[in-house]
Amino acid sequence: MTNNANVHLVTGATGTVGRQIVLELLNRGHSVRALTRDPAKAGIPGFPDGVEVVRGDLADPASLVPALEGVTGLHLITFDGGGFAALETGPEIVRLAAAAGVHRITVLNGGGDTPLQDAVTGSGIPWTVLMPVEFMANALAWAEGIRAEDTVREPFVGRLSAMVHEGDIGAVAAVALSEDGHGGQTYLITGPEALTIHDKADALAGARGRKIEVVELTEAQALEQWRAAGQSEEVIGFLLEVYGNTPPEGRTPIGTVAEVTGRPARTFAQWAAENADAFRRTA
């Protein structure tokens, strides 16, 4: 049962997944409060009307008190800042959430157990862990190379990924936050098919109407590329592990999106059509 009088606070709301949770909650008629450390930037790009933007920093729980006022559903991320350092403030955040009357929490899993996720699952407040596989939006990292030279340069090009549309993560989160029956669940969330990098490049080429070449990098070349892009050594180690040796759950489509939302999971071809302009040359 949904209750449209409830207010949902979404953290990470300016990010890839959080933005989609905000949109899905709004589409379902709920009141949404979007948290950011910098409200001036929440309007970019195209943050929808009808969202109350509030300032707060998960690393400074006291700053969340006004944002939590009247909130019944809370979506949390597990990290602090662009380096994805694990948040250590989970116990204080869940204490404040309980005091505010929050009665459902979703957590975007940050790749394994984290102190914040542990605090939520031990909080006594009904929780749902969202455990998506690779986001389709990661393909945006290829946009510059595709626009400039019609080329994708990646290691492990034959690896399979059951990557998920970030809008489908948002839809699962919105249901878990607003309807009964999802407490105590950890939802592995995938897309509907397992694709190689060649498959993805073909889908993007179809959507933009221009061919794309795939060039396979050695591991050493990939390290160089990721370092040049400013990735931390921790993130690089994680990428090498998951790309070089993708676990079965990362490459096996399962039915969570359809089961939870009642709608089929979106394909990468759909994602590519929605985002084709990012991969087109402007001149």
Ligand X SMILES: NC(=O)c1ccc[n+]([C@@H]2O[C@H](COP(=O)([O-])OP(=O)(O)OC[C@H]3O[C@@H](n4cnc5c(N)ncnc54)[C@H](OP(=O)(O)O)[C@@H]3O)[C@@H](O)[C@H]2O)c1
Binding stretches for ligand X (CB under 6 A) = 11-18, 35-38, 57-59, 77-81, 84, 108, 110-111, 132, 134-135, 138
CA angle at residue 196 from 190 to 200, to 5 degrees?
85
| Structural contact between residues 17 and 169, judged by C-beta atoms closer than 8 angstroms | yes
Q: Which is nearer to ligand X, 210 or 254 (CB)?
A: 254
- 134 vs 168, which CB is nearer to ligand X? 134
> For ligand X, which is the closer residue by CB, 12 or 167?
12
Closer to ligand X by CB, 213 or 241: give it: 241
Q: Closest separation between CB of residue 42 and ligand X, Å?
A: 6
* Whether 152 contacts 212, CB under 8 Å: yes
How many other β-carbons are positioned within 10 Å of the β-carbon of residue 124? 8
Whole-angstrom distance, CA of residue 118 vs CA of residue 186:
13
Q: From the CB of 237, what's the least distance to ligand X, in Å?
A: 13
Residue nearest to ligand X (CB): 15
Token code pair at residue 139: 């393909």
177: left (phi over 0), alpha (psi -120 to 50) or beta: alpha
* Secondary element (H or E) of residue 258: helix 256-261
Q: How far is the CB of 39 from ligand X (least distance, A)?
A: 8
State which residue, 31 or 114, has the beta carbon closest to ligand X. 114
Q: How far is the CB of 12 from ligand X (least distance, A)?
A: 4
> What is the closest distance, in whole angstroms, from the C-beta atom of residue 17 to ligand X in the complex?
4
CB within 8 Å of 168: residues ≥ 6 apart:
189, 191, 257, 261, 265, 266
